[in-house]
Every structure is written in structure tokens, then in C-alpha cells.
A and B are shown apart, each in its own frame.
Chain A
Amino acid sequence: MIQNSPDTVIVGAGAAGLTLAARLAQAGESVVVLEAGAQRSTSDMISSQIWARKLKWSAAAVEESGTHPVGHAFNAGSGTGGSAAHHYGVWLRLHQEDFSVQRDHNRSLDWPITYQDLKPYYDRVQDAIGISGDHVAEVWRPPGAPYPMPPLPVFAQGRILDRGFQATGRRTAPLPLAINSVPRNGRAPCQFDGWCDAGCPIGALANPLVTSLPKALSAGADIRYDAQVIRVLRDSNRANHIRAVEYAQHGKRHQLVAKRFIIAAFTVQTSRILLNSSLNKQPAPGNRYDQLGRYLTTHPAGTIFGLFDDETTPHLGVSGGQLLCHDDYANKGQTGGFGSSQWLIANAIKPHDLLGYGTSRPDVIGGELRPWLQRAAKHLANMTLVVEDISSPDNRVTLSEVRDDAGMPKAHTHHDIAPEVANRWQQRIDEGEEIFRAAGATEVWHGPRVAMHIMGGTVMGDDEKKSVTDTFGRVHDTDNLYVSGPSLFPSSGAVNPTFTLTALAERQGDHLLGTPVNDALHA
């Protein structure tokens, strides 16, 4: 059944998809967004780490393999807002050196654009969405406009951990957050209750439900839920032209014809949809040179925990943290491993769930547990390490032999960690424990190495033999098929990706609407 034919079909109602839906609809285009998950509103964001699991990926499970699996079930989301509905609002810019890792270090891939190309979009998005921070204190920050809001306050946990950074000769700055520190643009300020993972129903945290979604809807975008896109369909007369998407909804298959298609279904599902679009021995879009799905990256991450005699009030604040340290960021080639790294310091924390302190100590059981938890509830501190991954063609998304309920092959991800990245992770973990001891911790431990964020698979580049899309996310061998989101990242850097993917989406919006790209605004 062929339904109406809008100007643009966007696949995925997450941060990238809704940013573009708002831009294009506001410019007068007819836009349909197909979202595989359920419709959600802020009233679905129940303050509970158990209820919060409803926001995570709940469709067909992704098969995972490798020495460092990407953790799709934890990192992905579904429904309105996608993974950004449960993101922590840590909005950092990639550093200038993140764009040239191949050229500088003979590792990963280079971006086909520079920081200067993206800077105007970082500034535009920062002003539109709102970021709280202190650009002066953040001495490592690449050039850019000052933050439009003052930083969020630093509570006892942050002040105590800061002692350790100072004692070991390191610097800290307030963590830049897409969370209101003051009322702004009709959105309330943060209340520091640490429920970011469960969504933010008061609208302080910039999840798409309170930023791009209202703009898209008011401009007339049509968002269709429970609509799982199966594949894109080429025009039979023009092989480089996509005619329609095929999607499953309520047990039926549909086709939707449009002038333009944007796949913004988050990293793994974007590759899955495109890989599943191969037909009659014709390669899938963007896959003439077997590049589709490759260069899958994830940030190796870990948490340092410690107990202090001081009261730390670790329930106060936001999940992303209070302070930032990028002292080690620029030195990717430092002895001991490879890659940039950052510390997100003094995360608000709960007693249970995967990231909770109770879960971090499986050795504490029985009669010892309750007094231990009671002490930790007042005296625990923690911080999160994020390490750069190395892009490798062998880390990739492929299609499984197993099909989901809609008959679509499931996705399989394979991700191995490079030994030098694993070494960097261990090196920083050891340093993190030293920082905790310098801050006065009486007991220090760390959690396992985990995967945070998922990027790559449809990387952008100038050379079709080494990438899937051009610098604006247009799939190389097509004239009307685009990709948006973190799957475009040729390399991962070591910062949280949502700010960058939103800036990229804004840049794509300018390109698609014919607005002069702000390359002339180079600082």
C-alpha cells in the first residue's frame, strides 16, 4: 500500500531525526518521521531506575560479539526522543585534534571536516538549546562562544573529589551540561535530584521531548509511531535514487514514497536498515566498496568509587557529573596506551541499578550490606572515565541469520578493543584511584570496563572506498538518501556525542535547505 508522498521521510525520532524534522518542517517542507518505538511524553518519565528501563531499547535484541561489546541494550533508546530521552546532557565539543587522528597518529580515520567547519554549528546549537558551564574555567575547550548559562552548583561530592585533582596537579572545571541552571526558553532549572537516566519531566535537561519535538510538531511534522522501517527501495529507473521506504506497522507492511530520505535510527539500526536494502545482487546503498557497517566505535568507560570520612551527599546533582577534567585529553599518544580521555566527576548516584553503588560491590552481602549501603549513601563518591576508541574496519554491524517478528534480519555487532586502548583505560583507572586516595578516600575500588555511546557504521568521508556518506551525510551512491546521527562519526574522540551529532544535524539542515554553509565563519 502506498501512502502519501511527503518531501522528506526521516527514520527515527531521536536527537538527530527530530532536529532535522524541526528544521525542514519550519522551512515549509512536508515531513514524516517514522519511529520504531512508542510515543512517549514527559509524563512517562517516572522517577525510578527500574521504570527508567522502559526508555531503553526494547525491540529486537542486537546480537553482540567481540572483546568489548557495544552494549546496545543499555546505550540505545526507543520511542520519542530515542537514546537522547535518557541521556545525561553532558554536552562537550570534540577537540580540534579529534578530527585528524589518522593524519596525526596513523590510527582511526580522519573526519572530512575540521573543527572550524563545525564550530559555528556548535555555537548555534548551544545558543538554541542552552548549555550551562564556565568557558573560562574550561581551559581545554576549543574556540567557541561563551556558554549562555552559568554552571550548575558543585556539591560536597564534587568539592571533595576536586581536592584529589588539585593534590595531584590536575585542573577541573564545571561540567558543561545541556541542563538549565536558570530558567531559559520557557524551561525550568534543574532541581539536582539525579533522575536524569529516567528522563527529565520538568524539562530542565534538553531531551528532544522539550526541545526539537515541540518545534517539529508545531511546524506540521507528522510523526508515526510503532513504524519499523525495514529497508529503503531504489527507483527502478534511476539506480542512484531512492523511491520509498518500506516499513512495518501493526503487523502490516507499507511503503512511503518521498523526495528525500534521512536515516537517523541511531548507530546500529541505521546500518541494519541500509544493509537490509540490498536487492537482486545490487549492493546496499553506500556499500559498493563494502564499507557499510564498518568502523563501529564505542567509548571504553569505567567508574572509580570511594568512601570518605566526609559527608559527600552523593544523591545530589545530576547523573552526568559536576566537574570535568580534560588535562590528559590532548595527548593521545602519551606513553602507556593510546587515546584521549576525560573524567566526568561526581555523578549523582543511586544505591541500585547497573550504575548504582550497591551493584558495584557484589562482595558485600548479608548482614554487612545494609550498614554498608547506609554509609555509602552519605559518604560515597564516584567519577566516570571515558576513553577514545580506535576506529577499525573489523569492528562492524552485519545482518544476523535470525529474523525479528517483522521478518527483518536482526543486527549483529562485533567490536574488539585495541590493546593500546585497553592499556590506556587501565592506566587512567589506576590514576583515578590515585586521585581518590589523594582526595582522602579511605577505601577505593573501580567498576568493570563498559561500553558508553555507540558511533560509526556509516562514516562520512571524501572517498567512497573508505566511507559511506559525504560530508553532509548523503550516501555516496545515491542522490536523495542521507544519514544523520553518531553513525556518521569517523572517529570517536573521548567526549559524549550528543552535542556533536546535533551540530552535524544543524549543518545538514543548512545544506538540505540551501542555506549557505557557515564555513566562512572560521575563527
Chain B
Amino acid sequence: MTAGHNRRDVITGGAAALGLFLIGGNQVWATPSQAAARNFTPQILTQSQSQALSTLAEHLVPGSAKGGVSAYVDTQLKAGPNSLLMAKYVGVPVEQQKGFYLSALDAVASAISDKPVAAVAEAMASDTVPGWQGPPASYVFFLLRADALDVTYGSQAGFSDLDIPYSAHIRPETAW
């Protein structure tokens, strides 16, 4: 062939695939799952928002907390116009994502502070969370679940868990 790469070339995606996380007071290059395992300090989300996201996402998509969903969202929001969050496809432009997520996660944090996460998730899906202040709850539910799916099943490890051959043409060094 004269153009492109041979089938399933394995090349690296570059260091930009990693995020710079605040871990133990130091800026460290790490993947979101590594950052989660090392108790990273979120730079866009508050600790409360980060914890709320992990709790809800883990309920919706088991494995996503350990997979680093909070670190993933935090690092994408930090990326500003280069955010890869799926939200931009469904009505949340990148320049509005930070405000959207902060507002949504404040609402989630408030809701799960006095009710079990399972009850909150069920109420979010039907837009019946008492006192909900933020973007429509069912919309937030859909997007956070999608983010959790990205983190948990959007990688080579996730495909492997589902016994799907990844068959990359160009293999990403990391999932995002």
C-alpha cells in the first residue's frame, strides 16, 4: 500500500494520552485509573463532586470508579476545547461542559447525601429527584452512565472483558 499503515500497526499514541494529576501534592503523569488508585486530588471538580461522580457511576457501571471515571471527567474538563467527553455530541458544547458537570454533580452530591444511591439513580432516570437543582436529572443520568461506559468498556481491557477482539489498526497507548 502507498498510503496509511499496515493492518493493525502498533504505534504509540504519545504522552499526551496521559493526564497530569495532582497526587500527594505533586503533579504526576498518570492514566485516570492510576490516578484513582493513588487518590488523586481533582483540579476541576471538588472532592464532593468527584466522590459523588464515582459513587453514582459505580452504581450504574460497576468497575468505573476503579477505572478512574472521576479522574477521566476531571482531566477532560481541564482540557477545555480539547475535551473528549461524549457530552458535546448531545447538546453540551465543550465551552459549557465545565459548568454543566459542576452543576450536575452538585445536584448528585446533594441527592445522595441523604438517600441511597440506588434510590437516587432510579429517581434520576425518571426525573423525580425531590429538590433537584441542576440540568435535567435523566439527561445527567444518561451522560454520566455514558462516561462510565467509556471508562470501563471503551478500552482494550474493556473489550477483552467482553471477549471482543479489539483488532486495532493503530493501537492507542492508553484509552484516552
The answer to whether A365 and B4 touch (CB under 8 A), given A47-B171, A48-B172, A354-B89, is no
Q: Are A200 and B1 in contact (CB under 8 A)?
A: no
Type the 1/0 row for A55-79, where 1 means its CB is closer than 8 Å to any CB of B. 0101001001000010101100000
Q: Are B172 and A362 in contact (CB under 8 A)?
A: no
User: Which one, A351, A367, A370, contacts B159 given CB within 8 A?
Assistant: A351
Type the 1/0 row for B147-176, where 1 means its CB is closer than 8 Å to any CB of A. 001100111001101111111111110011
Q: Are A49 and B169 in contact (CB under 8 A)?
A: no
Q: Are B94 and A187 in contact (CB under 8 A)?
A: no
Q: Are A43 and B170 in contact (CB under 8 A)?
A: yes
Instruction: Provide the residues of chain A in CB contact with B172, threshold 8 Å.
Output: 46-48, 51
Q: Are B86 and A53 in contact (CB under 8 A)?
A: yes
- Residue B7 is within 8 A (CB to CB) of chain A in the complex: yes
A41 to chain B, nearest CB (A): 9
B2-48, CB < 8 A from A: 2-9, 11, 13
Q: Are B141 and A362 in contact (CB under 8 A)?
A: yes
Q: Say which size band chain B's interface belongs to.
A: 35 or more
- Residue A512 is within 8 A (CB to CB) of chain B in the complex: no
- Residue B112 is within 8 A (CB to CB) of chain A in the complex: no
Instruction: Provide the residues of chain A in CB contact with B167, threshold 8 Å.
Output: 47, 191, 193-195, 315
Instruction: Provide the residues of chain A in CB contact with B175, threshold 8 Å.
Output: 48, 50
User: Which one, A51, A201, A359, contacts B146 given CB within 8 A?
Assistant: A359
Q: Are A366 and B62 in contact (CB under 8 A)?
A: yes
In the complex, which residue of chain A has the Cβ closest to the Cβ of B121? A365
User: Which one, B7, B59, B90, B176, contacts A50 given CB within 8 A?
Assistant: B176
The answer to whether A186 and B2 touch (CB under 8 A), given A50-B84, A200-B169, is yes
- Residue B81 is within 8 A (CB to CB) of chain A in the complex: yes
User: Which one, B1, B88, B168, contacts A47 given CB within 8 A?
Assistant: B168
Q: Are B88 and A201 in contact (CB under 8 A)?
A: no
Instruction: Provide the residues of chain A in CB contact with B91, threshold 8 Å.
Output: 64, 69
Q: Are B3 and A187 in contact (CB under 8 A)?
A: yes
A410 to chain B, nearest CB (A): 10
In the complex, which residue of chain A has the Cβ closest to the Cβ of B93? A61
User: Which one, A315, A354, A366, contacts B60 given CB within 8 A?
Assistant: A366
- Residue B61 is within 8 A (CB to CB) of chain A in the complex: yes
Q: Are B125 and A202 in contact (CB under 8 A)?
A: no
A172-206, CB < 8 A from B: 183, 186-188, 191, 193-195, 200-203
Docked pose: A74 CA to B1 CA in angstroms: 30
Q: Are B62 and A191 in contact (CB under 8 A)?
A: no
- Residue A109 is within 8 A (CB to CB) of chain B in the complex: no
- Residue A373 is within 8 A (CB to CB) of chain B in the complex: yes
Instruction: Provide the residues of chain A in CB contact with B82, threshold 8 Å.
Output: 54, 58
A309-364, CB < 8 A from B: 315, 350-354, 356, 358-359, 362-363
- Residue A167 is within 8 A (CB to CB) of chain B in the complex: no
In the complex, which residue of chain A has the Cβ closest to the Cβ of B154? A352
Docked pose: A354 CA to B91 CA in angstroms: 12
Instruction: Provide the residues of chain B in CB contact with A73, threshold 8 Å.
Output: 88-89, 93
A20-42, CB < 8 A from B: 42
Docked pose: A374 CA to B170 CA in angstroms: 25
User: Which one, A46, A58, A194, A200, contacts B4 given CB within 8 A?
Assistant: A200
Q: Are B149 and A352 in contact (CB under 8 A)?
A: yes
Type the 1/0 row for A355-392, where 1 means its CB is closer than 8 Å to any CB of B. 01011001101110110011001100000000000000
Instruction: Provide the residues of chain B in CB contact with A50, threshold 8 Å.
Output: 84, 150, 154, 175-176
Q: Are A202 and B94 in contact (CB under 8 A)?
A: no
Instruction: Provide the residues of chain A in CB contact with B155, threshold 8 Å.
Output: 48
Q: Are A214 and B153 in contact (CB under 8 A)?
A: no
Docked pose: A455 CA to B91 CA in angstroms: 20
User: Which one, B1, B9, B81, B154, contacts A48 given CB within 8 A?
Assistant: B154
Q: How many interface residues does A have (CB within 8 Å)?
A: 54
Q: Are B86 and A201 in contact (CB under 8 A)?
A: no
The answer to whether A51 and B169 touch (CB under 8 A), given A74-B89, A353-B86, A369-B61, is no
In the complex, which residue of chain A has the Cβ closest to the Cβ of B162? A377
- Residue B98 is within 8 A (CB to CB) of chain A in the complex: no
Docked pose: A369 CA to B169 CA in angstroms: 28
Docked pose: A363 CA to B60 CA in angstroms: 9
Residue among A54, A56, A214, A315 having the largest count of chain B Cβ atoms under 10 Å = A315
Instruction: Provide the residues of chain B in CB contact with A191, threshold 8 Å.
Output: 7-8, 167, 169
User: Which one, B2, B59, B84, B176, contacts A365 given CB within 8 A?
Assistant: B59
Docked pose: A337 CA to B3 CA in angstroms: 46
User: Which one, B81, B89, B125, B169, contacts A193 given CB within 8 A?
Assistant: B169
Q: Are B7 and A214 in contact (CB under 8 A)?
A: no
User: Which one, B118, B142, B154, B162, contacts A49 given CB within 8 A?
Assistant: B154
The answer to whether A187 and B2 touch (CB under 8 A), given A50-B176, A201-B170, A370-B62, is yes
Docked pose: A42 CA to B145 CA in angstroms: 31
- Residue A45 is within 8 A (CB to CB) of chain B in the complex: yes
Instruction: Provide the residues of chain A in CB contact with B5, threshold 8 Å.
Output: 42-43, 201-202
The answer to whether A358 and B153 touch (CB under 8 A), given A45-B170, A47-B169, A202-B5, is yes
Q: Are A187 and B1 in contact (CB under 8 A)?
A: yes
Instruction: Provide the residues of chain B in CB contact with A352, threshold 8 Å.
Output: 146, 149-150, 153-154, 158
The answer to whether A46 and B170 touch (CB under 8 A), given A354-B86, A377-B162, is yes
B64 to chain A, nearest CB (A): 10
In the complex, which residue of chain B has the Cβ closest to the Cβ of A47? B168
Docked pose: A191 CA to B169 CA in angstroms: 9
Instruction: Provide the residues of chain B in CB contact with A149, threshold 8 Å.
Output: none
Docked pose: A48 CA to B173 CA in angstroms: 10
Chain B interface residues toward A at CB < 8 A: 1-9, 11, 13, 59-63, 81-82, 84, 86, 88-91, 93-96, 118, 121, 125, 141-142, 145-146, 149-150, 153-155, 158-159, 161-172, 175-176
6 further interface pairs, Cβ-Cβ under 8 Å (given A352-B150, A369-B61, A370-B62): A50-B150, A56-B89, A61-B94, A202-B4, A352-B154, A352-B158
Chain A interface residues toward B at CB < 8 A: 42-43, 45-51, 53-54, 56, 58, 61, 64, 69, 71, 73-74, 183, 186-188, 191, 193-195, 200-203, 209-210, 214, 315, 350-354, 356, 358-359, 362-363, 365-367, 369-370, 373-374, 377-378
Some 19 contacts from A to B, beta carbons below 8 A apart, are A42-B4, A53-B88, A58-B82, A183-B1, A187-B2, A191-B167, A203-B2, A210-B4, A351-B154, A351-B162, A351-B164, A352-B154, A353-B150, A354-B86, A356-B149, A358-B153, A362-B145, A370-B63, A373-B162
